[in-house]
Amino acid sequence: MHQDTISCDLHDHIEVVCMYGYQVKLELKNQQVIEGKAIDIITSPDKHEYLLIKNEKKQEVALTQLAKLHVLTPDARFKVVEFI
């Protein structure tokens, strides 16, 4: 695995939040916090993966920049995932 990827286990959690459209709060490695609805995982032409989040607008967040994911949706399958 190189620096532009995340582990399969962590990737599976991202797929679940998108599949169920969970409301999430993302803590990034640069200390930025983003909240919104998880929509999809997209891959750029240069093979970088991004989580598409919908809040006031749609935002693409690089999966490699995630530090922690909090699921805000009640009764979700999990609540917190740490990426570090």
Q: What is the pLDDT of residue 3?
A: 59
Could you tell me which of 81, 61, 60 has the C-alpha nearest to residue 69? 81
Confidence category of residue 84, pLDDT binned at 50, 70, 90: confident
Q: What is the pLDDT of residue 5?
A: 79
Parse the chain into domains and list their residue ranges: 8-65
User: Tens of pLDDT along 16-64?
Assistant: 999 999 999 999 999 999 999 999 999 999 989 999 999 999 999 999 9
Helix (H, G, I), strand (E, B) or coil at 2: coil
Global pTM reads: 0.91
Helix (H, G, I), strand (E, B) or coil at 5: coil
Per-residue tokens: 67: 């530090």
DSSP classification of residue 63: G
Domain 8-65 has CATH 2.30.30: yes
